[in-house]
Amino acid sequence: MVLPRFRVPEDIAIRVPQENMRETLEDMFQHVGMSPEDAAQSADVLVFADLRAIETHGVSNMMRSYMERFAADDINPRPNWKVVRESLSTATIDSDSGHGLVIGPLAMKMAIEKAEKTGIGAVAVGNGRHFGAAAYHAMMALPHDMIGVAMTVGGINVLPTWSSEPLIGLNPIGFAAPTRNEAPFVFDAAMSSVAGNKATLAKRLGVKMMPGWIADEHGTPIMEETDVPEKSFMLPVGGTRELGSHKGYGLSVMVDILCGVLSGTGPGFVVKGRAEQGKASGGAATHHFTAYKIEAFTDLEGFKDDMDHFMKTLKDSKPAPGNDRVVYAGLPEHEDNIERLENGIPYHPEVIDWFRDITSELELEWRLT
């Protein structure tokens, strides 16, 4: 659920129909060498994020980064990915520097296919790249009456509790569980106190970072509202030990074990160290995808009935003073998706200006007005 401070103010927002943005993204991805199919898949992940107001992982923050990394030959537009180890219910993929927006859905589909046969499917991915919003991959399981989990290691800029060295990543976890009539439960959050791209959003929107989100260059948590410093580090969920940062720290390490160590790539800080020594790409990421076939564990219809009752009870609970309502993970994003499909996606003028400049530079058709 995006905080109000990170939403583009409606009085300056430029609304763009999702299909126009989708076509523009496909043009750009094909321009850097992707196949039409992979370009469409990549665009789908980004538009998904924008429709659900996952602003940190939509086009506003990610496209300029992706274009820079394609230009630096850090992302392989036509990877020769391969399965390096496999069992009936598991697999490990070397993605050959392929874009996570392509390899991620491919790996999640493999996990779903394995879960259909064995009840659970799990796929680890090494030598990868940024895979967008974790929720996209987790939600792929929902039409198959499965629970989906997706996680990734990247952005090694988070301090372990009490440390002054950034040794862990943002390491988001996506979890999606189906319902019958209520909006599905969809959790997607970094294990840092706030998503790393929030700093970029804060600068663009001219808003401050909240207490306990970041630490100064010496590793001391900043416990008052502040502008984004020139140099800072992210803190784990909780911010400080007294507020539970050891929990976010531990969860982040768990993600790194499942993604980095289990894929045979190594912890995120090891990959970063190799890159700094010129021995590996600076954009390497690792991922993990799991699918659970509900019928392998319990009655499917009963599960959906219970989920509806669970979600409805949560949202209908009495709000605490000063709050309008209670929500659960995935409900606000579900509502944003409906509104933005109807009215277009709101973008900051600076983002539209960037797209105007880059499409002109690449001599691509202008579609965003």
**Residues 238-262: what's their mean pLDDT?**
95
What is the per-residue pLDDT for 277?
A: 58
Residues 160-177 pLDDT 10s:
999 999 999 999 999 999
Residue 273: predicted pLDDT? 64
- Predicted local confidence at residue 276, as pLDDT: 60
Choice among 191-195, 215-219, 291-295, 355-359 with the minimum mean pLDDT = 191-195
Q: What architecture is the 1-72+344-369 domain classified under in CATH?
A: Orthogonal Bundle (1.10)
pLDDT of 5 > 90? The answer is no
Domain with CATH 3.30.1370.60 in the chain: 81-149+167-190+246-333
pTM of the entire predicted model: 0.93
Q: How far is CA 130 from CA 244, 350, 359, in A?
A: 28, 23, 23
- The residue-averaged pLDDT of 230-239 equals 90
Strands in 90-94's sheet, in edge-to-edge order, are 82-86, 90-94, 120-128, 285-293, 146-153, 173-177, 185-189
Mean pLDDT across the stretch 84-92? Answer: 98
Task: State pLDDT tens for residues 24-33.
Answer: 999 999 999 9
Tell me the fold of 81-149+167-190+246-333: Ribosomal Protein S8; Chain: A, domain 1 (3.30.1370)
Supply 277's token pair. Answer: 């020594």
Of all residues in the chain, the percent with pLDDT exceeding 90 is 81
| CA-angle at 173, arms to 283 and 237, nearest 5° | 95
Mean pLDDT value of segment 11-15: 95
Q: What is the pLDDT of residue 204?
A: 75
Q: Which of 80-84, 231-235, 280-284 holds the top average pLDDT? A: 80-84
Q: pLDDT tens digits, residue range 52-65?
A: 999 889 999 899 99
Asked whether residue 82 carries a pLDDT value surpassing 70, the answer given is yes
* pLDDT(255) > 50: yes
* Mean per-residue pLDDT over the chain, rounded: 93
For 350-366, the DSSP string reads HHHHHHHHHHHHTT---
| Range list for CATH 1.10.1530.10 in the chain | 1-72+344-369
How sure is the predictor about 87, in pLDDT bands with cuts at 50, 70 and 90?
very high
Residue 248's pLDDT is 95
- pLDDT score of 282: 47
Q: Strand, coil or helix: what is 14?
A: strand
pLDDT at 307: 98
Residue-wise DSSP of 98-144: B-HHHHHHHHHHHHHHHHHHHSEEEEEEEEE-----HHHHHHTTGGG
